[in-house]
Amino acid sequence: MTAPKVVVFGTAGYALVHLRRARVLHDDGEIVLAGACDVRDPSPESTDLLPPGAVVTRSIEELLRQAEPDIAVIATPPHTHLDAALAAVDAGCQVLLEKPPVLDLAAFDLLSERASAAGVECQVGFQSFGSAALTVLREAVEAGAVGEPRGVGTAGAWIRRDSYYRRNGWAGRRVLDGKSVVDGSLTNPFAHAVATATLVAGTAGLRPRRIDVELHRARPIEADDTACARLTFDNGVDVVAAATLCADQVFEPYVVLHGAEGTARWWYRSDRLEINGEAVRAGPPTDLLRNLVRHVDEGTPLAAPLELTRAFTAFVEAVRDHPGPKPIAPEWVDRADEGPEQRYVVRHVEKFVESAAEEMALFSELGVPWVT
C-alpha cells in the first residue's frame, strides 16, 4: 500500500509540533511528508524537518497544486481555519485541523457539509481525545464506580508572560482586521479542558441548551485572561470550566467527573487518572495523525472527529458573541518580573478557579471579590 502524502499548513508555533510528528511517521514509512506552506519565510528548524524533495510554498493553493497531498494538517491562526480547511477538503484531502476548529456553528456546519460532499474526514487536534484513559474512565462509569454522573468540572492555572502576547498579531485579540479571532483563556490555551470535559460528560457532539460565560482580564488586552463558563445540556450532565493565565502558582489542568457516589479526576496532559482517589493505569495515547492515516487505510474509528467538537464550537461562538472581558480591579492584580518576562498575577485566583470546577459554580456564584 502506498504511503499517503501529507502536507502541513504552517511552519511556526504549534505547526512545528505537527512537523516533528509528521517527520517521525515519515521516517517510519507510514506517510510521505510532502511539504509545508507559510506566509512567512520558514525557520531553519522547520525546513530541517522536511525530507529531500518536499515542497515549500507561501500559499495553501500552491502547496495543494504542487504536492497533490492526501492529508493536510492545518496549524494556521484560528481565524484562518475555515478557509484553509475548505481549500483542503475541496482538493480531496483528509484533514487534521488544529483547535479551535472553527469559530461558530455556521462554519462548523459548512465544513461538515463540504467534507461529507468531498468524501473526506476532518479530525480535530484535541490530543486528549486519543488518550487510553478515556476508555478506562468510560468503563469505570458504566460499571457504576462513581454512580450516576451529575456534572463535569475542569480547571487550570497557568502563567503567560508579555512575550506570549507579543508572539504574533492575534494573541490576546478578539478581532483582527475585521475578522473574529476569539483568543482567550478557555478558547485557546485551555481549549482542551473545555472540549475534554464535554467528551467525559458524553455531550461533545451536542449543542448546549444554554451557555453562561464570565470573562475577565488583568492585562490591558482585548481578550480574557481569566474566565469561567457553564454549558447546560438536556441530558442533565452540565460542564463548568474555569481557567486563568494570571496564576502565581501553576497547576496542571484537570477534568473532574462528579458522580452521585464518587468522583474521577483526569489530568489529561500527563494522562494521570484517579477514580475515587485511587490511581488507575491506562495504555499509551493514540497519535491523531497516525489515527487519521489508519482510519483512511483500515477504517479505524477517528479519535477526534469534527462532530465531537460541536459543543466546544458552540462555546467558542458564545465567547465570540460575549460583550468582552471585564477588567479585574487593580487592587487584586500584581505584576512580577520585568521586560518580556513580565507577568500579571491575580491574587488567590488559583483557589477560585479550582473551586469553580469542584463546586460546579461560576465565579459570580462563588462570591469571587473582583466579580461585579
Query: Which of helix, strand or coil describes residue 91?
Result: coil
**Above 80 in pLDDT, residue 170?**
yes
As a whole number, the mean pLDDT across the chain is 97
Query: Which of helix, strand or coil describes residue 128?
Result: helix
Which residues on neighbouring strands pair with residue 334, listed in sequence order? 345
Whole-angstrom Cα distance, residue 3 to residue 290?
Answer: 12
pLDDT digits (tens, 9 = 90+) for 354-363: 999 999 999 9
Here the cell at position 150 is 451529575
pLDDT at position 53 is 95
Are 191 and 199 a contacting pair, CB within 8 Å?
no
**Above 70 in pLDDT, residue 86?**
yes
pLDDT at position 1 is 67
Whole-angstrom Cα distance, residue 248 to residue 263?
Answer: 27
pLDDT at position 152 is 99
Radius of gyration of the chain (CA): 21
pTM listed for this prediction: 0.97
pLDDT band at 372 (very low <50, low <70, confident <90, very high): confident
Domains and CATH numbers, the chain: 5-127 (3.40.50.720), 132-281+306-366 (3.30.360.10)
Backbone angles phi, psi at 145, to 5 degrees: -60, -30
pLDDT digits (tens, 9 = 90+) for 1-16: 689 999 999 999 999 9
pLDDT digits (tens, 9 = 90+) for 44-70: 999 999 999 999 999 999 999 999 999
Task: DSSP for 183-234, please give it.
Answer: --TTTTTTHHHHHHHHHHHT-TTS--SEEEEEEEESSSSSS-SEEEEEEE-T
| C-alpha triplet 274, 277, 280: angle, nearest 5° | 35
pLDDT band at 235 (very low <50, low <70, confident <90, very high): confident
Is beta strand 226-232 parallel, antiparallel or unpaired with respect to 210-217?
antiparallel
pLDDT digits (tens, 9 = 90+) for 111-144: 999 999 999 999 999 999 999 999 999 999 999 9
pLDDT digits (tens, 9 = 90+) for 312-356: 999 999 999 999 999 999 999 999 999 999 999 999 999 999 999
**Above 70 in pLDDT, residue 43?**
yes
Whole-angstrom Cα distance, residue 237 to residue 214?
Answer: 20
| CA terminus-to-terminus distance, the chain | 61
Helix spans in the chain (H): 14-27, 44-47, 60-67, 81-90, 105-118, 132-142, 162-165, 191-201, 288-298, 310-321, 349-359, 363-366
pLDDT at position 236 is 85
Q: Which of 349, 141, 126, 127 is nearest to 256 (CA)?
A: 141
pLDDT digits (tens, 9 = 90+) for 279-307: 999 989 999 999 999 999 999 999 999 99
Q: How many CB atoms lie under 10 A from the CB of residue 23? A: 18
Q: Taking residues 180-192, what's their average pLDDT?
A: 97
